[in-house]
Amino acid sequence: MVKKKFPEIEQRLFKNVYVCMRCNAKLRTNLKKIATGKVKCRRCGYKFLRLKNKDIKV
């Protein structure tokens, strides 16, 4: 009887996934790297990323 979704699994899936704010490419990285500014979008080189979060509406 599994009717509910699994928030833990969803969190794990979305936890370290960031989205480029310019081209919307998805990157998997972690907050430490974001904080040190070492992470850039692989596609366009843009430095500003946001957390991929379902609550954020585009």
User: Which residue among 15, 44, 47, 50 contacts Zn ion (CB under 5 A)?
Assistant: 44
CB of 13 to Zn ion, least distance (A): 21
3-state SS, residue 39: coil
- Residue 34 or 41 with smaller CB distance to Zn ion: 41
Q: Residue 21's closest CA among 8, 2, 52, 12?
A: 52
Phi and psi, residue 30, nearest 5°? -130, 170
Q: According to CB under 5 A, which residues from 4 to 43 bind Zn ion?
A: 20, 22-23, 25, 41, 43
Decide if 17 contacts 52 (C-beta within 8 A).
Answer: yes
Residues that bind Zn ion (CB under 5 A): 20, 22-23, 25, 41, 43-44, 46
